[in-house]
Amino acid sequence: MASLPQVPAARRAPFLNSSSFTSSHKFLSQGRALFPCCYSRRRPAFQVKAEASPISQQEGSGRRQSLVLGAITFFGSLSHANSASSEAKKGFQAVLDKKDGYTFLYPFGWQEVVVQGQDKVFKDVIEPLESVSVNMVATGKQDVRDLGPPQQVAEALVKKVLSPTSQKTKLVEAAERDVDGKVYYTFEFIAQAPNYTRHALGAISIGNGKFYTLTTGANERRWGKMKDKLHEVVDSFKIFDV
């Protein structure tokens, strides 16, 4: 059995139980900017000041024209970049956590909520089982492969951490992938409670002295409709050095 980093009981699987998303959790603003860490940054301002020394009208006109053309080129390229970025992420919003070193996408319309023991949680307010959460614990391991093969590690994680012991779980599949030299384990599982069944996906990796876990899922009855979006969420999860 894989030896997993110790996870405090308070951090275990609050996102698998719809009762965990009660009115006591604070809902944050849905109008948050695409990158919260950068939303206070202002656009550069372009201002043409009069020259202190006299210059000819032609020379001044040429300089003003250069400034105008430069501004047009800058904002045109910026608009093009934003358009391309928006098109690539259509239907999703991005999270970039520069402090803890990770990023991922989540479906547009989900709201951020506060769940004790989780670093980030976003969910659908109408379908509370549709959510994504990120959790981190300290580890001395350097690579997720140090924990064991994907099937073994995912099985232990699903049974011991991601699901209450009262739920029946089934690991559907687990795989390893390499993204920019960083190894991730991704997996799919089903957790069955007395009153609902959740179909979920997960991704884990190790970096910055931390064991990262991202989990997303939906009610089994909506899996067919949501699975493509949820796979997009898992595939978008990346960690980076901080």
Give the DSSP letter of residue 37: G
Q: Which two tokens stand for residue 173?
A: 């599949």
Give the DSSP letter of residue 105: E
Residue 89 is predicted with a pLDDT of 77
Lowest mean pLDDT: which of 43-47, 113-117, 175-179?
Answer: 43-47
Dump pLDDT digits (tens) for 142-167: 999 999 999 999 999 999 999 998 99
CATH number corresponding to 9-35+91-239: 3.40.1000.10
> Which residue type does 139 have?
T
Distance CA 196, CA 217 (A): 13
pLDDT at position 196 over 60: yes
- On average, the pLDDT of the chain sits at 76
Residue 20 is predicted with a pLDDT of 40
Residue 187 is predicted with a pLDDT of 98
Question: 186-207 burial string, b = 16+ CB within 10 Å, else e?
Answer: bbbbbbebeebbbbbbbbbbbb
pLDDT at position 79 over 50: no
H runs (alpha helix) in 4-161: 57-88, 150-160
Residue 98 is predicted with a pLDDT of 97
Q: How far is CA 227 from CA 26, 118, 143, 172, 199, in A?
A: 27, 23, 28, 14, 9
pLDDT at position 92 over 60: yes
> Which residue type does 214 have?
L
Lowest mean pLDDT: which of 23-32, 57-66, 203-212?
Answer: 23-32
pLDDT at position 45 over 70: no
Distance CA 133, CA 113 (A): 10
Distance CA 100, CA 128 (A): 26
pLDDT (average), residues 121-148: 97
- Map out the domains of the chain as residue ranges: 9-35+91-239
- Sequence-separated (6 or more) residues with CB below 8 Å from residue 23: none
Percent of the chain at pLDDT > 70 equals 64
Q: Which residues pair with 182 in a beta bridge?
A: 179
Distance CA 184, CA 202 (A): 10
pTM of the model: 0.67
Residue 57 is predicted with a pLDDT of 47
pLDDT (average), residues 120-131: 96
Residue 69 is predicted with a pLDDT of 44
